[in-house]
Amino acid sequence: MIFKNVCFYNELFEKEVADIEIENGRIKAIGVIEGEGRDMSGMIALPGFVDIHIHGAGGGDCSDASRESLDKVSAFLAKHGVTSFCATSMTLGHDTLINIAETVREYKGRETGAKIAGINLEGPFIAMSKKGAQNPEYVRAGSVEEFDEINSASGNIVKLITIAPEAFDSDEFIKDVSTKCSVSIGHSAADAEQAQHAFDLGARHATHLYNAMTPMTHREAGIAGTALDNEKVFCEIICDGGHVCPAVLRNTFKILGENRACVISDSMRAAGLGTGEFELGGQKVYVHEGGKYAVLEDGTIAASISNVFDEFKNLISFGVDFKTALKSCTINPAKAIGADDEIGSIATGKAADIIFADEDFKIKEVYINGTLA
């Protein structure tokens, strides 16, 4: 298959016009290509988006541990330009997490839409004081043994795990587990010194920056300020305009630059379903009329109901630089999970994951491994 006259953003994220040839699910060639093809003039091609922190969407939740639910999430994401995702769990019991890991392992390669890039364990080794919408019944101290059992059950596809480094004796955990996946600080009450110590030991990620963590003030950097200050750390950000306000988003992207922000949805099964009562991690959550996110019964922010493509458009409307916004939805999250050789940009040899949109960024077609979704 050859796409002709494609206006796209190349692996340097610069605009280019060329032909793109796809073969066996991969981008075979980019340039002036001989042969018949489909003229794509008038459309813009973007790399398939990558969501490394998503619990659910379209009525499905990754923690349901069912193929039916994963199908719903995968199909919903494909319609919204997300071509790869990390199935994200909640703070749950050990046996439940094992079941989730096994289900995702068996499902990977059988997706109906967006591809499984791995698993993101949001907890259970977090701080009770910063649990947010996580179920307190299952919050517990970190264990390398427990992580290894879950990772083994997944076929070693756990890509991220969120921990609160101050909540348990975490030094050996970070040093060990950071060799197997990215260790992220989140749902944590760590101060700046504790956060920096965790980063020094090998943590390289911050979970949904600003939310469920110690804030940055003018006298104490907290987790947020320490993560922003560390050039080795990727920072997830929910860009629905509710979890983090537009002014803070603008300032944050100025600090992080082009290469360190990872836009995430952190969405749950209510995404795309409108208002109502839903379930998240065994707890009731609610989406109210005009709400930008789901909340617990007591009003605590629970999860997003957005998607990364809509958040990309939000960032553009908020005044964030286009290149920075695009990289933060594609190559940066791919790098954060060590998958940038396969996904995250339009380049020869990579998976043919491409979004075709009009000039207003209305999605027209999405290709995943070269197949129309």
CB of 275 within 8 A of CB of 290? no
Checking if the pLDDT of 65 tops 90, the result is yes
Checking if the pLDDT of 330 tops 80, the result is yes
pLDDT tens digits along 245-275: 999 999 999 999 999 999 999 998 889 888 8
User: Which of 19, 61, 64, 266 is an active site residue?
Assistant: 266
For 240, the 3-state DSSP assignment is coil
Checking if the pLDDT of 279 tops 80, the result is no
Confidence of residue 287 (pLDDT cuts 50, 70, 90): confident
Bridge partners of 46, per DSSP, are 355
Q: What is the mean pLDDT of residues 38-49?
A: 97
C-alpha dihedral over 190, 191, 197, 201, to 10 degrees?
A: 30
- Average predicted confidence (pLDDT) for the chain: 95
Residue 136 DSSP label: G
Q: What is the mean pLDDT of residues 306-311?
A: 96
Q: What is the mean pLDDT of residues 37-58?
A: 97
pLDDT tens digits along 81-131: 999 999 999 999 999 999 999 999 999 999 989 999 999 999 999 999 999
Predicted pLDDT at 288: 82
Predicted pLDDT at 272: 87
Q: What is the mean pLDDT of residues 134-163?
A: 97
Q: What is the mean pLDDT of residues 46-74?
A: 97
Is 19 known to be catalytic?
A: no
Q: What is the mean pLDDT of residues 308-321?
A: 97
Bridge partners of 31, per DSSP, are 19
Checking if the pLDDT of 141 tops 90, the result is yes
Confidence of residue 201 (pLDDT cuts 50, 70, 90): very high
What is the model's pTM?
0.95
Contacts of 50 (CB under 8 A, 6+ apart): 82, 83, 84, 85, 117, 308, 329, 330, 333, 334, 339, 343, 344
Rg (CA), the chain: 20
Residue recorded with tokens 């992220």? 184
Bridge partners of 205, per DSSP, are 184, 234
CB of 266 within 8 A of CB of 207? no
Residue recorded with tokens 């005009």? 290
| Architecture category of domain 51-343 in CATH | Alpha-Beta Barrel (3.20)
pLDDT tens digits along 11-23: 999 999 999 999 9
For 324, the 3-state DSSP assignment is helix
CA proximity to 83, closest of 92, 96, 73, 93: 73
Confidence of residue 296 (pLDDT cuts 50, 70, 90): confident
**What does the domain layout of the chain look like in residue ranges?**
2-44+359-372, 51-343
